[in-house]
Amino acid sequence: MVIIDQKSKKEEEHPMISKPLRLNLFVKGYNHLLTSFIFITGFSIGLFLCLQLKDFHISTMKTQQQPLWSTLLFNNTTSVETEQELQLQVLQHNMSDQELFTRVSSLSSSLTSSSWFGWRHDNDEKRVVKVAFMFLTGGRLPLASLWDKFFEGHEGFYSIYIHTHPSFKDYYPETSAFYSRRIPSQPVYWGTSSMVDAERRLLANALLDESNQRFVLLSDSCIPLFNFTTIYDYLTDTNLSFIGSYDDPRKSGRGRYNPKMYPQINITHWRKGSQWFETTRELALHIISDTVYYKIFDQHCKPPCYMDEHYIPTLVHMLHGEMSSNRTLTWVDWSKAGPHPGRFIWPDITDEFLNRIRFTDECAYYGRDGENITTSKCFLFARKFTKETLEPLLRISPVVLGFGP
């Protein structure tokens, strides 16, 4: 019987490894570990770069899909020429009215008066409040040359939108502020709901640019009564809109109320006011978003009820009265009898006449801090000025109105 030593048995089962062999195996293991580490590190870096490129691509695509106003508002390197180009693209859409109103109604109203106050007061060039000047006309603007002088040198602080008859052809030179500023329009007939449709169309197109925070509706016979800086400060230093809305007990007021509007609109809600308004972005969004009261007016306000004199004044009074100063900024002469205000011609244009309009009876003005002050500067615009008043207006505007030539 062969007896096997336990120590020898263990050595057969676990042969002794020599030191050189162990060193060689250690080196190979280290190299393998190092190679694995380098591979994993390289793979991780490659994966990271791949994800970054993917994110960049997605970010680029999102930027391309952002509304054009976003590019105008946040791109600090955008030149005036590029901005004008982008704004033209905004106007060249093919949306129907319903598509346009639906899109605008979905826009965030987060940039309200409380959030945009101070934009123009800091040094951030990317954040500039603009005033949208919206012109409602049947054709050419006869006083465009005067307005060009008014806008001159203030590029980037205003936007212009023109609603005119679809068949009208533009003839404004490229140097004019009105060049290619018309929006997709429809025919407008005096005394019908098409007047309000045009106003809403102008508002909706202007709302596509979120840097527009104030909106002024003007006619082809309107003129500015002060220079651009004065009007800009007047509008942007308050968080209230300027929409005339009053209870007129006469036949031309309550006499136009249709009892079929009840119960949604009671006669005690019924208001009248000037068609020519100035509004904040927040209130403009409310006006565009309304579908209930617009339908009631469209159905039951027919001549001698004129929707453009009652719809917005009544809507604002009923739902958003606290957002308006309850007065218009556009002066007009109703001293003469008749359905239309007085018109002005060449001999009417004098320093005395314009200054009487510019500084009238005192009115209240609520500043940005809620401060209520009394001012004699109650109107910023006036109408109706005929084409023949252009020459005398241009001649005296540097001295009286403070701009041009």
What average pLDDT score do residues 39-59 get? 51
pLDDT value, residue 31: 56
Cα 334 to Cα 342: distance, rounded to the nearest angstrom: 6
Structure confidence by residue, pLDDT tens digits, 376-394: 999 999 999 999 999 999 9
Looking at residue 270, its amino acid is W
Structure confidence by residue, pLDDT tens digits, 303-315: 999 999 999 999 9
Structure confidence by residue, pLDDT tens digits, 65-98: 333 333 333 333 344 455 555 555 567 788 988 8
Q: Which of 171 and 270 is assigned the larger pLDDT?
A: 270
**All residues at 6 or more sequence positions from 372 whose CB lies less than 8 Å from its CB, including other chains:** 364, 365, 366
Residue 135, strand partner residues: 162, 218
pLDDT value, residue 47: 56
pLDDT value, residue 169: 85
Residue 280 has pLDDT above 90, yes or no: yes
What are phi and psi for residue 23, nearest 5 degrees? -65, -40
Angle formed at CA 262 by CA 201 and CA 292, multiple of 5 degrees: 30
Residue 289 has pLDDT above 70, yes or no: yes
The 3-state secondary structure of the chain reads CCCCCHHHHHHHHCCCCCHHHHHHHHHHHHHHHHHHHHHHHHHHHHHHHHHHHHHHHHHHHHHHHCCHHHHHHHCCCCCHHHHHHHHHHHHCCCCCHHHHHHHHHCCCCCCCHHHHCCHHHCCCCCCCCEEEEEEECCCCCCCHHHHHHHHCCCCCCEEEEEECCCCCCCCCCCCCCCCCCECCCCCCCCCCCHHHHHHHHHHHHHHCCCCEEEEEEEECCCEECCCHHHHHHHHHCCCCEECCCECCCCCCCHHHCCHHHCCCCCCCCCCECCCCCEEEHHHHHHHHHCCHHHHHHHHHCCCCCCHHHHHHHHHHHHHCHHHECCCCCEECCCCCCCCCCCCECHHHCCHHHHHHHHCCCCEEEECCCCCEEEECCCCCEECCECHHHHHHHHHHHHHHCCCCC
State the chain's maximal CA–CA distance in angstroms: 145
pLDDT value, residue 214: 98
Residue 6 has pLDDT above 50, yes or no: no
Residue 206 has pLDDT above 50, yes or no: yes
Cα 40 to Cα 141: distance, rounded to the nearest angstrom: 70
Report the 10 Å Cβ neighbour count for 42. Answer: 10
Instruction: Say what percent of the chain tops pLDDT 70.
Output: 72
Residue 226 has pLDDT above 90, yes or no: yes
Structure confidence by residue, pLDDT tens digits, 21-34: 444 444 455 455 55
CB 280 within 8 A of CB 130: no
pLDDT value, residue 156: 95
CB 177 within 8 A of CB 161: no
pLDDT value, residue 93: 85
Q: Which of 107 and 322 is assigned the larger pLDDT?
A: 322
| Mean of the per-residue pLDDT values of the chain | 81
Cα 188 to Cα 198: distance, rounded to the nearest angstrom: 7
pLDDT value, residue 5: 44
Query: Residues for the chain: how many in total?
Result: 405
Residue 36 has pLDDT above 70, yes or no: no
What average pLDDT score do residues 4-12 get? 40
Give the strand pairing for 223-224 and 158-163.
unpaired
Instruction: Say what percent of the chain tops pLDDT 90.
Output: 62
Cα 242 to Cα 238: distance, rounded to the nearest angstrom: 10
